[in-house]
């Protein structure tokens, strides 16, 4: 019979020193104060079963399980105490999400479902099996199928060829077909090696659009600008894009639990900033809300003719972009 500790007792028991070797494994590690507080808040009067420090996509996270009202759930926190995944069940899904999931499950067996927020963009991730294949789908809160896992042999020939040529023998760990609703389909290819993870982004015709880099691998001027925007926020990833012979570097980060991004030229010139609606001027917030639809992305474009906001809104599965001046009027 398994003995359960109270939440506070288990957290206290985990507050021990850990060697450098332990940090590279899934052995239990001490909880940072922010994680300790967040776990206590999540579990409440439930029973915490375990918490462990592990590496996920090359980054440290804290994973655990708890039982509440007879239901077993798992969770994942970042070291700063941000909840990035929590197990949920089909009957708890928003109706639009549940409808999309059911459409994807034809002939498949549903596995675990998670509410996720790794990049500050909440979504639902569901695992399922169809025959011997195990796959996953990511569904936005409005029910849009944002991404679905695919196999290399299921891709268009040009995409598969582009991936094989670029990876030069490396085997993809995961391939996701991503679509925000504007018809711009991309294939996100991730290769994991030990605790490290790297992603390449390909267009629908097999062209390499972006490659993931470490921040310190970006040009000094771009790195300085991105660090200034990052501040104390949690960095998620950095990508290098090429467009008409010019290089751009985009850093995605999470600040106060919300999605942000900044893009800079190699010379350090700031090109654009992605921000949550609440960070925009009140007039822009009102204009976006009045436009209606699900806000996919709000981007502040730094233009020689004057800064402006570009809002990408999804309405009934179609992506619409509107451009607004800082005073909320149409550009």
- Quote the CA–CA distance of 48 and 11 in Å, as a whole number: 9
pLDDT tens, per residue, the chain with 331 residues: 334 444 544 454 444 333 323 333 444 347 888 998 999 899 988 999 989 998 887 788 999 999 999 999 999 999 999 999 999 999 999 999 999 999 999 889 999 999 999 888 999 999 999 888 899 999 999 999 999 999 999 999 999 999 999 999 899 999 999 998 877 899 999 998 877 889 999 999 999 999 999 999 999 999 999 999 999 999 999 999 988 888 999 999 999 889 999 999 999 999 999 999 999 999 999 999 999 999 999 999 998 889 999 999 999 888 999 999 999 999 9
- What's the confidence (pLDDT) of residue 132? 86
- What's the confidence (pLDDT) of residue 29? 47
Q: In CATH terms, are 151-213 and 222-324 the same topology?
A: yes
- List all residues 6 or more positions away from 96 whose beta carbon is below 8 Å from its beta carbon: 141, 142, 143
In terms of Cβ atoms closer than 10 Å to its own Cβ (0-12, 13-18, 19+), residue 139 is: buried
Phi and psi, residue 159, nearest 5°:
-70, -45
- Quote the CA–CA distance of 16 and 52 in Å, as a whole number: 12
- Quote the CA–CA distance of 86 and 331 in Å, as a whole number: 40
Instruction: Give the gyration radius of the chain's Cα atoms.
Output: 21
Please say whether the beta carbons of 288 and 280 come within 8 A. yes
In terms of Cβ atoms closer than 10 Å to its own Cβ (0-12, 13-18, 19+), residue 71 is: exposed
Please say whether the beta carbons of 119 and 254 come within 8 A. yes
Domain parsing of the chain, residue ranges: 7-88, 151-213, 222-324
Tokens 């019979």 found at: 1
- What's the confidence (pLDDT) of residue 311? 97
Phi and psi, residue 45, nearest 5°:
-90, 10
- What's the confidence (pLDDT) of residue 77? 95
- Provide the whole-model pTM: 0.87
- Quote the CA–CA distance of 127 and 137 in Å, as a whole number: 7
Report whether CATH 3.10.450.360 matches the domain 222-324: yes
- What's the confidence (pLDDT) of residue 184? 86
- What's the confidence (pLDDT) of residue 2? 38
Got the DSSP string for 198-243?
Answer: EEEEEETTS-EEEEEE-GGGS-HHHHHHHHHHHTTSEEEEEEEEEE
Range list of H helices, the chain? 7-14, 33-43, 95-104, 157-167, 220-230, 282-291
- What's the confidence (pLDDT) of residue 102? 95
Shortest CA distance to 148 belongs to which of 121, 182, 175?
Answer: 175
Hey, what CATH class is 151-213 in?
A: alpha beta
- Quote the CA–CA distance of 116 and 263 in Å, as a whole number: 24
- What's the confidence (pLDDT) of residue 175? 96
- What's the confidence (pLDDT) of residue 117? 92
Helix (H) or strand (E) holding 45: none
């Amino acid at each position: 019979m398994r003995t359960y500790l109270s939440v506070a007792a288990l957290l206290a028991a985990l507050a021990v020193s850990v060697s450098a070797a332990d940090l590279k494994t899934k052995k239990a590690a001490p909880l940072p104060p922010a994680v300790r507080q967040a776990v206590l808040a999540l579990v409440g009067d439930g029973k915490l079963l375990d918490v462990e420090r592990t590496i996920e996509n090359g980054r440290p996270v804290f994973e655990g399980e708890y039982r509440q009202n007879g239901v077993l759930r798992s969770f994942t926190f970042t070291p700063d105490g941000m909840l990035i995944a929590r197990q949920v069940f089909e009957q708890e899904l928003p109706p639009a999400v549940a409808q999309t999931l059911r459409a994807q499950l034809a002939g498949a067996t549903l596995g675990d479902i998670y509410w996720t927020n790794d990049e500050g963009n909440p979504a639902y991730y569901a695992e399922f099996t169809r025959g011997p294949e195990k796959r996953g789908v990511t569904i936005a809160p409005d029910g849009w199928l944002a991404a679905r896992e695919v196999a290399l042999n299921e891709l268009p020939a040009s995409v598969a060829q582009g991936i094989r040529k670029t990876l030069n023998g490396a085997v993809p760990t995961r391939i996701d077909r991503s679509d925000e609703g504007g018809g711009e389909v991309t294939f996100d290819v991730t290769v994991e090696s030990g605790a490290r993870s790297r992603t390449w982004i390909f267009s629908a015709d097999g062209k390499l659009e972006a490659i993931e880099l470490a921040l310190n691998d970006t040009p000094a001027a771009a790195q300085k600008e991105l660090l200034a925007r990052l501040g104390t926020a949690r960095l998620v990833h950095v990508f290098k894009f090429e467009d008409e012979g010019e290089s751009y570097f985009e850093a995605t980060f999470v600040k106060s639990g919300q999605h942000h991004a900044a893009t800079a030229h190699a010379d350090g010139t700031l090109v654009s900033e992605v921000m949550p609606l609440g960070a925009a001027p009140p007039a822009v917030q009102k204009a976006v809300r009045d436009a209606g639809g699900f806000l996919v992305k709000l981007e502040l474009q730094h233009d020689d003719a004057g800064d402006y906001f570009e809002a990408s809104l999804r309405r009934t599965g179609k992506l619409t972009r509107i451009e607004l001046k800082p005073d909320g009027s149409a550009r």
